[in-house]
Amino acid sequence: MELPGEQIVRTIGADHVALREQVLAELRRRIVDGEYREGERLTEIRLADDFGVSRNPVREALRVVEAEGFVQILPRRGAVVATLDETAVRDLFAVRQQLETLAAGLAAERATPAGIASLRALVEQAAAATAAKDFDRVAELNSEFHRTVIEVSANRWLVSMSAAMYHHVHWVFRVGAAQRAPHSSDEHARLVDAIEAGDPTAATEAARLHVEAAAKAALRTDRAG
């Protein structure tokens, strides 16, 4: 309730922006989790019905996921879920190797006890989720682990540059999570050991080997990360 003399200040379009962001997050999640499959057509009308919203926030969300590479706009078909072909996967891992090895080396130099504890907790949670065969959760924890390594590196440029990439990392990992999860968890643990030891060379090498193993698995099977 507004009291006498008080003035409620609202940012222009604030509610609309919030709705657009909700639609964007849910659209991205459904693509990453495989609810909308590669090559599946996504019309504005269908998505508006799925989300219970008007077509405007759907149209804006589609523009964003197109820019992020989750959706393609094709002649006479409109928006379709993008296909993670071999070139796309190779390109993703090429960028991951550069960013994650750099982040690992910096993390070994800059990690705080709290940062290391966060990484250890994520490794333990991923191991538990793997044992429970909760591979959706494993995929979430995989991306969170890598984002946390980058945060521990305390390099703001790496943080900002990698933000969008980890939606795609999640997407790739989830497809082959059942096969890849146990190996990925062990590799994560070795990386944390090197970071905790304060050894940038060992951390960089652990990150390199991890990304290479993930890339081989991704290109050899149905994809993993």
| Mean pLDDT along residues 59-63 | 93
Question: Which residue would you say has higher pLDDT here, 12 or 161?
Answer: 161
d(CA 8, CA 13): 15
Confidence at 194, pLDDT banded by 50, 70, 90: very high
The domain at 86-220 falls in which architecture?
Up-down Bundle (1.20)
d(CA 94, CA 125): 27
Confidence at 224, pLDDT banded by 50, 70, 90: very low
Q: Which pLDDT score, from 0 to 100, does residue 16 have? A: 55
State pLDDT tens for residues 68-115: 889 998 888 889 999 888 898 999 999 999 999 999 999 999 999 999
Tell me if residue 174 falls in helix, strand or coil: helix
Q: Which of 40-44, 110-114, 176-180 has the lowest mean pLDDT?
A: 176-180
Domain locations in the chain as residue ranges: 14-81, 86-220
Confidence at 59, pLDDT banded by 50, 70, 90: very high
Cβ–Cβ < 8 Å for 103, 153: yes
Which among 169, 148, 170, 168 is positioned nearest to 158, based on CA atoms? 148
CATH for 14-81 (1.10.10.10, 3.30.390.50, 3.90.1150.10, 1.20.950.20) = 1.10.10.10
d(CA 25, CA 65): 10
| Mean pLDDT along residues 15-20 | 70
Confidence at 121, pLDDT banded by 50, 70, 90: very high
